[in-house]
Amino acid sequence: MRVLVLGAGVIGVTSAYALHRAGHEVVLVERREAVGQETSWGNGGIIHTSEAGPWSEPGAWREVLRSLGREDAPMLLRLKALPGLWRWGPQFLRECAPHRFRRNLHANLALAVASVAALDRIRHETGITHDEVTRGTLEICHTQAQLHHLVDKLAPLAEHGLRFQVLDRAAATALEPALATASQAVVGAIHFHADQSGCCETFTKKLADWLVERGAELHTGTTVERLLVEGGRVVGAVTDGGPVRADAVVVALGPWSRRLLQTVGVEVPIYPVKGVSITMDRRAWPEAPTMTVLNHGWFFALTPLGDRIRVAGSAEFTGWDTTPAPARIDAILGRAVHVFPGLRACAAAPGRRDWAGLRPIVPSGVPIVGVNPKPGLWLNVGHGHLGWTLAAGSAERLAQAIGGHNAGLAA
């Protein structure tokens, strides 16, 4: 079967890989001049089962309301975004109910665990390297109360596949010596064994190259104008380079999926939420972490990517704006430097890149994978802040669904 995949970020390219392995002829279409140039470029770089929880958790609305007018808030709602949230917002609030949150968390965690294993299989088969670190991630705590609260929160998830170990200060510092340089004492940490990190953009580019070498088609610099429908069936897409026909069409356009799908009467509850990251030269800080360090107390994650290091930790409801606002960059970098003063040298080193991109958030936080709303049309959308984490597993489920297996997930 000839399958057209729209979008060549990590979701689209892993979808193409899974479909190729299932024996399908694959065509990838991407509007940018290269793959992995939107949300896949500057995400936090973390593949983490430990952060599978959706943003729609009990009490989340209080955090959003407290953020109004605060440029330094980790999650910021701008007033100009409110008109676009009149339908999405109430759906998000409904998903904050405790029983819905637990259901959504368990669904995402199961997919995340499967996805880490699927990513390992891709690397094994293709030989791709992407500055990956497979030693897990480390979430640090500065008070015993913070550590105990985190352990209580995580304990029920062990039976759902989350692997973690509680470390005291000595054990945490032995695992990651950079903790000794923190300005605030680290009393302990949680080590999430199955978590990984790596450059999503590099992985996406190399996997696309691997596919092209094996016969897949890749059309970059090509904009999808509309879906091609004949007799009620989606049979391809019309692009600025002409029509592309296929037996099946997969939409994997991240936050832009909603607009395209609306043209054929399919509504998906996706809202774009901006994230920012700062990528710097890691060599300016000799004691820099060698594995991802998460700090929820100060709302940032620090991830090594080969000779680079990236700090991320921001969510901004601001419509379709992708400008890395200086105030937001300063806030997140300031929090990270406060805890790790050595990062200041990286921030001042040449080659720093401040980035902003849009996450495709659905109210439940559970992506829409393998859903078939019209004959010939398949979805792999709505991964939110977990695109890198859930990509490989979502791709496998999509391929199973297209192959006739009931593997779909719906938000």
pLDDT digits 0-9 by tens, 161-175? 999 999 999 999 999
Q: What is the mean pLDDT of residues 323-343?
A: 95
Q: Where along the chain do its domains lie?
A: 2-402
Distance CA 299, CA 199 (A): 21
| Residue 407 binned pLDDT confidence (cut-offs 50, 70, 90) | low
User: Most distant CA pair in the chain: distance in Å?
Assistant: 67
pLDDT at 61 (0 to 100): 81
Contacts of 22 (CB under 8 A, 6+ apart): 399, 402, 403
- Residue 26 pLDDT > 80: yes
The whole-chain average pLDDT of the chain stands at 95
- Tell which residue, 278, 292, 290, 277, has the closest CA to residue 344: 278
97 band by pLDDT with thresholds 50, 70 and 90:
very high
Instruction: Point out the least confidently predicted range of 18-32, 81-95, 349-363.
Output: 81-95
pLDDT at 362 over 70: yes
Do residues 358 and 39 touch, judged by C-beta distance below 8 A?
yes
How confident is the model at residue 70, as a pLDDT? 79
Residue 44 has pLDDT above 60, yes or no: yes
The rounded radius of gyration (Å) of the Cα atoms in the chain is 21
Q: What percent of the chain has pLDDT over 70?
A: 99
Distance CA 330, CA 314 (A): 11
- The predicted structure's pLDDT at residue 79: 78
Q: Percentage of the chain surpassing pLDDT 90? A: 89
Q: Where are the alpha helices (DSSP H) in 22-87?
A: 39-42, 60-66
**Per-residue pLDDT at 370 exceeds 60:** yes
Residue 391: band (very low, low, confident or very high) from pLDDT cuts 50, 70, 90: very high
> Can you tell me the mean pLDDT for 215-243?
97
Q: How far is CA 318 from CA 9, 57, 73, 312, 314, in A?
A: 22, 20, 13, 18, 12
pLDDT at 165: 97
Taking the C-alpha atoms of residue 28 and residue 45, their distance in angstroms, rounded to an integer, is 23
Of 59-73, 197-211, 248-262, the least confident: 59-73
Mean pLDDT of all residues in 283-301? 95
pLDDT of 406 > 90? The answer is no
CA distance 264 to 208: 28
Give the model's pLDDT for residue 38: 95
The pLDDT assigned to 408 comes to: 58
Residues whose CB falls within 8 Å of the CB of residue 78, separated by 6 or more in sequence, listed in order: 316, 317, 318, 319
pTM value? 0.96
Beta strand 217-219 pairing with 25-29: parallel
User: Is residue 337 predicted with pLDDT exceeding 90?
Assistant: yes
Average pLDDT in the 229-246 region?
Answer: 97
Give yes or no for residue 252 having a pLDDT over 90.
yes
> How far apart are alpha carbons 250 and 309 in whole angstroms?
34
Amino acid in the structure at residue 408? G
As a dihedral over the C-alpha atoms of residue 163, residue 106, residue 114, residue 301, rounded to 10 degrees, the angle is -60
Across 232-260, average pLDDT = 98
Output the pLDDT for position 344: 98
- pLDDT number for residue 409: 62
Residue 272's pLDDT band, with cuts at 50, 70 and 90, is very high
Fold of 2-402: FAD/NAD(P)-binding domain (3.50.50)
